Structure formats: structure tokens, C-alpha cells
């Protein structure tokens, strides 16, 4: 089983900008018109899973899908090293909250459980069709791209009274895997229901515009615990297959590091609070869509990566190295 097998049954496919625009209207009909909020994630290759950098690297190291306990423990080691390096302090802000530490690490390429998103659908789409280079060569020209629209209505940290304090927490507000177990860290324990919620819904954070890139990209992050098969109240948390039955937990974790549930855009059924909608963009359409976005909105590397790090990555990307 490959991640694309997980996403294909509910995806919608587009071959041009007009079809893409029509599908976005479907999302808007389920979203803002119903008071729902979406986070948008564009990926250059439709075959990729929806996973964080920490999850991917741990999977390689462990040679299996990470569980939440793996993520939590390794994340703790990374944060401890951030403190040893003295990077948890800011000259202007004082001590950084955990979320701000993780966001800064994410910005500079360190592995975190955060997944980059935009709260602007067109920017999310641009990231699916942008040009990436390797030693002067353009990558993923012949691969289809994918855009995820993740429903974060009930779990946007900034907009939810239950989670808003997370922005200022100096310790991680999420809890280690199975915190009621004696084998887990007692200093940051938590109740079972809180842990089960963390592992059965996607959370989103729209940070303050602490740098130009976050502002330009209308950027934010989606995060959460490794998916579990049951949630608060021991209610089942399952992923139905087309034709009957359910995806196994290992198959789900092969495909996503957060607990999101693929839904069909054109379905008339109830919208689930952890729904994710998937749009596949054919490889042949990527260039025309990219050029249309540049014409309409001015989106290009220069405007969406407006810093020296962005220039170093993309300003001279077409020049080959020795």
C-alpha cells in the first residue's frame, strides 16, 4: 500500500485553471459560507504523504511508523538542545513559547511536528505548482501535484478559548503518549481524554507575523499527535475504505502524521470536524496554473520568500554547482 492509495478514492482531479476554480467554489460552499475555516497545504508530488519533517525522519530512523510517544520523546530532546544552545531566548521577546521555538526551528529547516500551511487557498495552490530546483534542474515536472484543504474550524488555537493559552506556554501543552501509564514521563503527564483528543484531531496555529515570510504566505502550521484508532470517550476513530472495511492504523500512518479524514468535495453528507479535501493537479496543468497565479496575484518566489534565506534558495537556483 502506498500513500496515494489512501488519497485517491476521495480526490478530485483538475486539468486546467477553470476546473480548479470550480472545485474551490465547492470548498468555499463547505467552508466560509458555513462558517468553517480551512488550512491549505500544497505538495509538488501527489504521491507524497501528508506528514511532518519530524515524523518522516523518525520513520527512517525507526524503520516503522512513529507512535506519539516516539514523536514526543524525540521532540523533547530537540527542545532540550535548543535550550542548551541558548536559542530559546529572543533579544526582543525574551523567552520564547514552545510554539514559537518550534515555528522558528521549522523556518530554518529543523525537524518538527509542524506542517506548513497557508490560510489563503491560492497560496496553498501555488506551493503545489511552484518550481523547485536541484543543481539547476527543475524537479517534479512530470509528477502530478496535490492540494489539501484541512478543516480546522474547531481546533484553530488562536480562535478557541480552550487552546488560546497554548501560544504562551513555556512547556508543551500536548501530552506524552498514554500519559496514564507508569512508563511515561511523570513531569508532563496529562489526563487520558486530553491525550486522546490530541491524537484524533488536527490542530492549527496562525502565528503572529514574526517575519516577512509568514506574512507574505499568510502562513501557519497544522500539528497534532500521531493518529489513534479511538478518541475521547473511547469512541472509534476509523478511516473507511471504499467498498467496505477500514484502513488499518499502519496504513493511515503511512499516509498522514495527523488525524485527518479524507472527504469527498462533492459529497452532500455532513462535514466532519477533521475533514480533509484533496485536489490532484495534473502535471501538464502545473505550468499554466503557476503562470496564471503570477498574473492574477503576483505570486512567485520573490514575493512569497521575501528574505535572504529565500533568495539563497531560489534567487540563483538555476545556476549549477560544481
Residue 160 clears pLDDT 80, i.e. is over it: yes
- Pick from 109-118, 176-185, 284-293, 300-309: least confident: 176-185
pLDDT, residue 301, reads 96
Q: How far is 202 from 304, CA to CA, in rounded Å?
A: 25
pLDDT, residue 119, reads 96
- Tell me how far the alpha carbon of residue 304 is from its chain's centroid: 18
pLDDT band at 74 (very low <50, low <70, confident <90, very high): very high
Residue 181 clears pLDDT 70, i.e. is over it: no
Q: What is the mean pLDDT of the chain?
A: 90
Residue 266 clears pLDDT 90, i.e. is over it: no
pLDDT tens for 3-35 read: 999 999 999 999 999 999 999 988 888 766 577
Which grid coordinates are listed for 241? 475504505
Cβ-proximal residues to 270 (8 Å cutoff; 6+ apart), any chain: none
In this structure, are strands 275-281 and 12-14 parallel, antiparallel, or unpaired? parallel
Question: What is 32-84 written as a DSSP string?
Answer: GGGT--EEEEEES-TTS-B--HHHHHHHHHHTSPPPHHHHHHHHHHHHHHHHH
Average pLDDT over residues 244-264: 96
Residue 2 clears pLDDT 80, i.e. is over it: yes
Residue 186 clears pLDDT 50, i.e. is over it: no
CA distances, 130 to each of 3, 12, 134 (Å): 22, 20, 14
pLDDT, residue 316, reads 87
pLDDT tens for 283-300 read: 999 999 999 999 999 999
Average pLDDT over residues 300-309: 94
pLDDT tens for 130-139 read: 999 998 899 9
Only one residue has cell 508543551, namely: 172
pLDDT tens for 35-64 read: 789 999 999 999 999 999 999 999 999 999
Burial of residue 205 (CB within 10 Å: 0-12, 13-18, 19+) is buried
Average pLDDT over residues 152-165: 92
Do the beta carbons of residue 113 and residue 54 sit within 8 Å?
A: yes
Q: What single-letter DSSP state applies at residue 16?
A: S
Which grid coordinates are listed for 182? 507508569
Do the beta carbons of residue 195 and residue 237 sit within 8 Å?
A: no
Do the beta carbons of residue 254 and residue 1 sit within 8 Å?
A: yes
Specify the length of the chain in residues.
322
- Pick from 34-38, 163-167, 191-195, 250-254: least confident: 191-195
Only one residue has cell 460552499, namely: 29
Residue 232 clears pLDDT 90, i.e. is over it: no
Which grid coordinates are listed for 169? 506556554
Phi and psi at residue 125, in whole multiples of 5°? -65, -40
pLDDT, residue 20, reads 97
Residue 208 clears pLDDT 90, i.e. is over it: no
Only one residue has cell 534558495, namely: 313
Cβ-proximal residues to 267 (8 Å cutoff; 6+ apart), any chain: none
Average pLDDT over residues 81-106: 91
- Pick from 5-9, 185-189, 261-265: least confident: 185-189
pLDDT, residue 26, reads 84
Amino acid at each position: 500500500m502506498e500513500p496515494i492509495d489512501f488519497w485517491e478514492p476521495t480526490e478530485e482531479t483538475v486539468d486546467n485553471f477553470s476546473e480548479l476554480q470550480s472545485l474551490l467554489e465547492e470548498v468555499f460552499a463547505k467552508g466560509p459560507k458555513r462558517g468553517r475555516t480551512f488550512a491549505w497545504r500544497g505538495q509538488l508530488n501527489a504521491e507524497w504523504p501528508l506528514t511532518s519533517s519530524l515524523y518522516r525522519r523518525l520513520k527512517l530512523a525507526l524503520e516503522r511508523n512513529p507512535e506519539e510517544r516516539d514523536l514526543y520523546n524525540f521532540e523533547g530532546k530537540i527542545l532540550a538542545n535548543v535550550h542548551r544552545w541558548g536559542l530559546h531566548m529572543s533579544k526582543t521577546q525574551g523567552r520564547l513559547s514552545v510554539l514559537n521555538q518550534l515555528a522558528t526551528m521549522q523556518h530554518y529547516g529543523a525537524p518538527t511536528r509542524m506542517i506548513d500551511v497557508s490560510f489563503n487557498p491560492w497560496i496553498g495552490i501555488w506551493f503545489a505548482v511552484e518550481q523547485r530546483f536541484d543543481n539547476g534542474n527543475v524537479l517534479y515536472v512530470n509528477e502530478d501535484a496535490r492540494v489539501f484543504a484541512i478543516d480546522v474550524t474547531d481546533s484553530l488555537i488562536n480562535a478557541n478559548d480552550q487552546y488560546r493559552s497554548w501560544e504562551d506556554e513555556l512547556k508543551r501543552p500536548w501530552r506524552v503518549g498514554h500519559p496514564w501509564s507508569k512508563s511515561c514521563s511523570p513531569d508532563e503527564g496529562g489526563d487520558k481524554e486530553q491525550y486522546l483528543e490530541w491524537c484524533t484531531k488536527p490542530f492549527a496555529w496562525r502565528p503572529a507575523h514574526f517575519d516577512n515570510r509568514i506574512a507574505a504566505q499568510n502562513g501557519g502550521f497544522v500539528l497534532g499527535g500521531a493518529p489513534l484508532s479511538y478518541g475521547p470517550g473511547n469512541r472509534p476513530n476509523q478511516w473507511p475504505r471504499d467498498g467496505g472495511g477500514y484502513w488499518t492504523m499502519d496504513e493511515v500512518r503511512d499516509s498522514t502524521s495527523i488525524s485527518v479524514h479524507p472527504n469527498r468535495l462533492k459529497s452532500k453528507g455532513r462535514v466532519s470536524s477533521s475533514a480533509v479535501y484533496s485536489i490532484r493537479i495534473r502535471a501538464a496543468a502545473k505550468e499554466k496554473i503557476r503562470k496564471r497565479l503570477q498574473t492574477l496575484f503576483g505570486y512567485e518566489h520573490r514575493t512569497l520568500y521575501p528574505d535572504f534565506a529565500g533568495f539563497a534558495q531560489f534567487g540563483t537556483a538555476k545556476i549549477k554547482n560544481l
